[in-house]
Amino acid sequence: LALALPLTTAQAPAEKAAVALGSVIPAPSEVRPGGTAFRLTDRTVIEAPRGSRNVAERLAEALRPATGYRLPIVERSSSRKISLRTGHRDGYRLTVGRDEIAISAGDNAGLFAGVQTLRQLLPPAIDAATPQRARWLVAGGEIVDRPRFAYRGAMLDLARHFHTPAEVKRYIDEISRFKVNHLHLHLSDDQGWRIQIDSWPRLTAVGGAPGTGVDGVGGGYLTKAGYRDLVRYAAERYVTIVPEIDMPGHVNAAQVAYPELTCDGVAPPPRTDTAVGYSSLCIGKEVTYRFAEDVIRELAALTPGPYLHIGGDEAHATSEADYVAFQQRVLPLVAKYGKTAYGWNEIDQAPAAADAVLQYWNLEPTVTLRHASKVVLSPANRAYLDMKYTPSTPLGLSWAGYIEVRTAYDWDPTSYVAERAILGVEAPLWSETLRDLDDIEFMAFPRLAAIAELGWSPHRDWESFRERIRAYYPRWETRGVDFYRSPQIG
């Protein structure tokens, strides 16, 4: 299978088909091509210590379908091999020679990142689901790589349209290839409630019923068992799930299920439109805090990761004094159950946000931190994957502008706030207009890859990114990912 890639190594004629060592997204920190290529054959083995068995399995699972090779996982071997090793280092190091591809890293997450690099160094046919005739060459040389920011995130809105666990898993597969290591799930909003809470069962019985969602299309929710399964699946790919329950606004679905959560005790009508900013919990009622604490406690118990997101955005139906009073009581509840509070940038109005992580979604080019000291950047006019690419994009919204691929790529996180305040970057995908996985993929790719590169790579170079994305297209095509073919990429 002769794949005409624009980026090839010019080392030896026999190695022409190898992908250039640096043609990887996100761009690695250091790339040193040289030496002999490695050829993957039916005799190649995967060598890994017992403690890295999970990474070895992910690697084998990535390579077996298209090669048709057995690729046994062993603890020691003198055969030609791909070896995984943990030791002392930040990030990972990948060396390719005639007899061995060696990936070493400080921990399994680092090894997994190295494995994602290796996948992109093989020809695109490696992503096929059935055996392909191909020379599985990897160009010789060395990559030394480490993340710029600890948090590289994506967000999926399950509330406006529910997306099934199978769809979420497919999304995890795709984002983890770009070394994204957090998936934030927006689990409640005015239109629906998507996570089982035992102490408030009507939240899902009513808020997750068929027909809950924008336009009354969809419905559904995650049971606790389904949620735990997602957390485990994500963890096997070194992705931490960050759950979000949005309060004190965006709560209409909860109030439909439990009218006592409104001030007058009257249930509002269910909503299937896309308006925002009209609902609020009742700040003066004690039941509000029983509700918040029960939800936070149950969610914390489902969450092995450090962060619990409590929303806090667009609370236009809550007065500023009430908003601060609410956050002063609720933010500490997150700590009470052992988690770091995380919320949209509005929570910074409350002094209790001092220990919280802010997610910055506003458009102003400067972030002013009043109380918090850590921020995840998601400026809506750069990082929002639900904004249309151009006026003619059939899906998405445009309130924050149009975001072509270059707009998503060409910005510097440190122009918003000092580097030491940045925990990372996240690309949110709100799903008012998105019903299925094809819709999600079309809006996410290639822009998610742009945000992932900003979060990981020390350098940013549009021309280089453009070429690497262009070279990546056959991989999405092979996997049936419905990405947007931007005229900017060519």
Count of H-run helices and E-run strands, the chain: 13, 17
In the complex, least distance from residue 318 CB atom to ligand TNX, rounded to whole angstroms: 14
Give the DSSP letter string of 123-165: -GGGG-SS-----EEE--EEEEE--SSSEEEEEEETTTS---H
Site residues (vs ligand TNX, CB under 6 A): 276, 313-314, 344, 361, 380, 384, 386, 397, 430, 432
What's the sign of the alpha-carbon dihedral 435, 437, 438, 442? positive
- Minimum Å distance from CB 208 to ligand TNX? 18
What Rg value do the Cα atoms of the chain yield, rounded?
Answer: 23
- Strand bridging mode 151-157 / 182-186: parallel
Q: How far is the CB of 259 from ligand TNX (least distance, A)?
A: 23
Active-site pick, 167, 314, 346, 404: 314
Active site residue 30: no
Beta carbons of 231 and 223 less than 8 angstroms apart: no
Nearer to ligand TNX, 384 or 484 (CB): 384
Q: How far is the CB of 459 from ligand TNX (least distance, A)?
A: 29
Alpha carbon 126 to its chain's center: 23
Encode 164-176: b = buried (16+ Cβ within 10 Å), e = exposed: eeebbebbbebbb
Nearer to ligand TNX, 40 or 187 (CB): 187
Q: How far is the CB of 87 from ligand TNX (least distance, A)?
A: 41
Structure-derived torsion over alpha carbons of residues 455, 461, 466, 469, reported in degrees to the nearest 10: -30
Q: Which residues pair with 100 in a beta bridge?
A: 81
Catalytic machinery residues: 314
